[in-house]
A and B are shown apart, each in its own frame.
Chain A
Amino acid sequence: MGASLVKLVGKRIGLSIILLFAVSVLIFVGTQILPGDVAQSILGQAATPEAVANLRAQLGLNDPAYVRYFRWLFGLLTGDLGNALSSGLPIGPAIAERLSNTLFLAFWAAAVSVPLAILLGLIAVRHRNGFVDKLISASTLAAVSLPEFFIGYLLIYFVAVKLGWFTSVSTVFDGMPFLKRMSAIALPATTLTLVVLAQMMRMTRAAILNVMQSAYVETAELKGLSRSEIIWRHAFPNAVAPIINVVMLNLAYLVVGVVVIEVIFVYPGMGQYLVDHVAKRDVPVVQDCGLIFAAVYIGLNMLADIFSILSNPRLRHPK
């Protein structure tokens, strides 16, 4: 069993790496067809033609595209992310800080939302079609139907402005004490939790209910096990694969899709960094951020697949 499992997982990882290379080509091509010109965008409305020409030459924008692609790829593989065109500062350290902020926020949002969603899903199944089930479904669906900026504004207005419990400006910086940092991210983390909760909860509920239809659950019922015990011991372990899938998708969203939350709460994460540099046509940064986002997405999906393989013996022996 061991060898075939390793082979399966290895194949999956290999595929992911190939996919990542394909994405790097796409990203590079994509950034080449953005309208406008870096030099012009950096200098803005106040640009004189001489200044634009000076900057273009200085930025090496006159080399052919494939030369720039391989230069970029080689830099990435050797750990050199290059310098931002707009500010001339190295991209690596800037991204490292932004990424750690993003991961910090995503981690705490996930730490709250994933157990909560699964617990709520289990409770909903336990009280299927009862009042509790309907309450959980209705409230999480209501939260997910509201646009995320609206949830953010509501929290800012009531919790920050009216009650004054937490700050609405979530700027975090190096050397900030841990508790202060936690208090700063309280509102964005809550918003994110509300945004991702419903999908994970619904999937948990649906997956377990699906398993509850099967014959062995009926057997367990006939054996006289309690409903909670059936759900926890027999249904849940067999419903793990789809739950992991949706959890991973939501984790990916927490890392790559939260730019609106970052803007509203003034949180210095990756999203804002990327958007600013897209607006300035700062191609190296856009490429690096794009690839990091792609890596997160592909990586989490790969993990979801691997966990599914591990959790379901049938997948280990494809016919």
Chain B
Amino acid sequence: MSSELEYLSHRVAAGRLTRRDFLGRAAALGVAATVANSMLANAVMAAEPVKGGTLKAGLQGGESTNVLDPALNLSQVNFSFGKCWGELLVELKPDGGLEQRIAESIESAPDAKTWTMKIRKGIEFHNGKTVTAADVVATLERHGDKKSKSAALGILQGIDTMKVNGDEVVITLKDANADFPYLMADYHLVIQPNGGKDDPNAGISAGPYKVTANEPGVRYGGEKFKNYWQGDKLGHADQVEIVVINDATARTAALQSGQVQMINRVEPKIVDLVKRIPGVTIRNVAGKGFYPFNMFCDTAPFDSNDLRMALKLAMDRDEMLEKILRGYGSVGNDFPINEAYPLFTALEQRKFDPEKAAEYYKKSGHSGSILLRTSDVAFPGAVDAAALYQQSCAKAGIKIEIKREPGDGYWSQVWNKQPFSLSYWGGRATQDQMYSTAYISSADWNDTRWKRPEFDKMVIAARGELDQEKRKKMYADMGMMMRDEGGLIVPFFNQYIDATGKNVEGWVNNPSQEMCNGYALSLCWVAA
């Protein structure tokens, strides 16, 4: 049988080619319609998930210091493994909308201050206990406790009171927040029995896999949870395993030799080589993550908007995207939002303009060199990015002095401490969350020292606005303000670049995070 036809039939099954086109191509290749039809039927059948077997991923981003407690999940491996065993209230769909998981529905009173979450009946924890509203409240209590080390502490600060009402959880907020349901999709908020207050490291939740192996920084194993509440949709393999492979070359070799079926973090500079490996598919998806050059708006010389504008105009975004990310990304526009967010409005794209930059630079009255701090750990290619920027600034007559900082201690000594440095942001579920986390005056992580009361007011107003059209307009205004006055230079948004091995099917790109938003091991199967 023709391999081309086989390929085409798979494309039909995957929904990338219409049935009509397929039959046309088959006829052109001299295949009778009946044969073509039966091929198609086979291919569609093959697209049904294959149950059983072991699915193995080799992932970067695990350390021997990691623990299972979802409150402390930071690294990529814990994130992906957390999605194997943990179940959340809601989850982000590939289109940016919300999928109801443990919460069957989330309804708000008209003021967007009182929220009622109905807890789905009949969901079971791995220890056999049924998930109740009390477990949900206990989970939120644990993460929202002032003494908690949870990374979700910040987003739960807005909660005023919580109470259990039968199978409902009723939450009142201090201020109106139309995005409240999105906050519940935070990956730290894994629902655990009694909120994990007894033993947060037990690894017990209601996800598709039960934890069978937990060797921090080495390997993690999961066994299919027979009573998973939507076992037809997630958890096709009997066993899943994650091997921590922090070395990029070793990771690629493991995929190539078939020891793992999927890997994360393929480096942009080797993507084209990996593509040539037979059977390997690159899975790249544009996300919300971006790599900023942060200026402190309250520190000289960056307190002059003219200077900030000069530095923004002196950034050659196209060259940067091409050379640093090899095109695996999209250019930024000096505000932290892109089309991966639901309520995004495109603004006029800022272009590299050395002459205008020189004008603004002159107007700012600053002279002498400007110190830019960078490090390998800021983002992959951050040191090269600083050097490229230095060159494009030179064309505008701006002298940049680069200081390469050690990776050790970069996040504690340089980022958010020094006035001009490189960093990364992983994006957030909604625009409100992104702005609230890093750009309102009171934000702990206000890494551009952007302190504008009028901007804060806009954020709070948009947060309480339930009319989506009005809200969209408000976000466009905020984006414009940040683009023209903020302390942020965004050369580009990055892509998540994962790769899968032979015959791995079921992959669904999701812009929220890498590895199908962490669900790759649960969503995929290996076709025969």
Interface, chain A (partner B; CB < 8 A): 35-37, 40-46, 48-51, 54-55, 84, 86-89, 94, 153, 156-157, 160-161, 164, 167-169, 171, 173, 263-266, 268, 272-273, 276-277, 279-280, 282
- Chain B residues within 8 Å of A55, by CB: 149
Find out whether the CB atom of B149 lies under 8 angstroms from the CB atom of A49. no
Main secondary structure of the interface of A (DSSP, over half): helix
27 A-B residue pairs with Cβ-Cβ distance under 8 Å, sorted by A, are A35-B413, A36-B413, A42-B65, A45-B445, A46-B445, A50-B146, A50-B153, A51-B149, A87-B216, A94-B64, A153-B253, A160-B253, A160-B257, A161-B253, A168-B250, A168-B254, A168-B257, A168-B259, A169-B58, A263-B246, A263-B247, A264-B247, A266-B243, A266-B244, A266-B245, A268-B215, A268-B217
- For residue A164, which residue of chain B has the nearest CB? B257
A120 to B294, CA, bound (A): 60
- Chain A residues within 8 Å of B257, by CB: 160-161, 164, 167-168
Main secondary structure of the interface of B (DSSP, over half): loop
- For residue A57, which residue of chain B has the nearest CB? B147
Find out whether the CB atom of A169 lies under 8 angstroms from the CB atom of B250. yes
CB distance from A164 to the nearest CB of B (A): 6
- For residue B221, which residue of chain A has the nearest CB? A173
| Cβ contacts B342-364/A at 8 Å (1 or 0 each) | 00000000000000000000000
- Interface segment among B385-393, B404-412, B491-499: the answer is B404-412
- For residue A161, which residue of chain B has the nearest CB? B257
Find out whether the CB atom of B444 lies under 8 angstroms from the CB atom of A276. no
A256 to B249, CA, bound (A): 23
Interface, chain B (partner A; CB < 8 A): 58, 63-67, 74, 146-149, 151, 153-154, 213, 215-219, 243-247, 249-250, 253-254, 256-257, 259-260, 408-409, 411-413, 415, 423, 444-445
Closest 7 CB pairs of A and B: A36-B409, A86-B65, A40-B412, A276-B63, A268-B218, A276-B64, A87-B67
- Chain A residues within 8 Å of B153, by CB: 48, 50-51
Find out whether the CB atom of B412 lies under 8 angstroms from the CB atom of A84. no
CB distance from B439 to the nearest CB of A (A): 16
- Chain B residues within 8 Å of A167, by CB: 257, 259
- Chain A residues within 8 Å of B149, by CB: 43, 51, 54-55
Add 6 more A-B contacts to A276-B65, A276-B217 (CB < 8 A): A48-B445, A87-B67, A160-B257, A169-B250, A173-B218, A266-B247
Instruction: Give the A-B pair count, Cβ closer than 8 A.
Output: 114
- Chain A residues within 8 Å of B250, by CB: 156, 168-169, 263-266
Find out whether the CB atom of B409 lies under 8 angstroms from the CB atom of A49. no
Interchain CB contact (< 8 A) of A273 among B147, B217, B246: B217
Given contacts A160-B253, A276-B65, contact A45 B411 (CB under 8 A): yes
- Chain B residues within 8 Å of A277, by CB: 64-65
- For residue A267, which residue of chain B has the nearest CB? B218
Given contacts A169-B243, A169-B259, A276-B217, contact A45 B415 (CB under 8 A): yes
- Chain A residues within 8 Å of B444, by CB: 48-49
Find out whether the CB atom of B64 lies under 8 angstroms from the CB atom of A41. no
Find out whether the CB atom of B67 lies under 8 angstroms from the CB atom of A88. yes
- For residue A260, which residue of chain B has the nearest CB? B247
- Chain B residues within 8 Å of A264, by CB: 247, 249-250
- Chain B residues within 8 Å of A86, by CB: 65
CB distance from B363 to the nearest CB of A (A): 35
CB distance from A82 to the nearest CB of B (A): 14
- For residue A263, which residue of chain B has the nearest CB? B247
A160 to B259, CA, bound (A): 10
Find out whether the CB atom of B408 lies under 8 angstroms from the CB atom of A35. yes
- For residue B200, which residue of chain A has the nearest CB? A88
- Chain B residues within 8 Å of A42, by CB: 65
CB distance from A94 to the nearest CB of B (A): 7
CB distance from A88 to the nearest CB of B (A): 7
A89 to B246, CA, bound (A): 23
- Chain A residues within 8 Å of B412, by CB: 36-37, 40-41
Find out whether the CB atom of A272 lies under 8 angstroms from the CB atom of B254. no
Given contacts A168-B259, A276-B64, A277-B64, contact A46 B151 (CB under 8 A): yes
CB distance from A158 to the nearest CB of B (A): 11
A265 to B413, CA, bound (A): 32
Interface core residue of A48, A88, A164, A265 (most chain B CB under 10 Å):
A48
Find out whether the CB atom of A44 lies under 8 angstroms from the CB atom of B259. no
A276 to B67, CA, bound (A): 13
A44 to B243, CA, bound (A): 23
A164 to B256, CA, bound (A): 10
CB distance from B135 to the nearest CB of A (A): 23
Interface core residue of A36, A40, A277 (most chain B CB under 10 Å):
A36
Find out whether the CB atom of B408 lies under 8 angstroms from the CB atom of A168. no
CB distance from B86 to the nearest CB of A (A): 18
Find out whether the CB atom of B243 lies under 8 angstroms from the CB atom of A272. no
Find out whether the CB atom of A280 lies under 8 angstroms from the CB atom of B63. yes
A160 to B258, CA, bound (A): 10
- For residue A89, which residue of chain B has the nearest CB? B67
CB distance from A155 to the nearest CB of B (A): 10
A37 to B413, CA, bound (A): 9
Find out whether the CB atom of B245 lies under 8 angstroms from the CB atom of A169. yes
- Chain B residues within 8 Å of A84, by CB: 65
Interface core residue of A37, A169, A276 (most chain B CB under 10 Å):
A169
- Chain B residues within 8 Å of A41, by CB: 409, 411-412
A146 to B454, CA, bound (A): 61
A205 to B393, CA, bound (A): 60
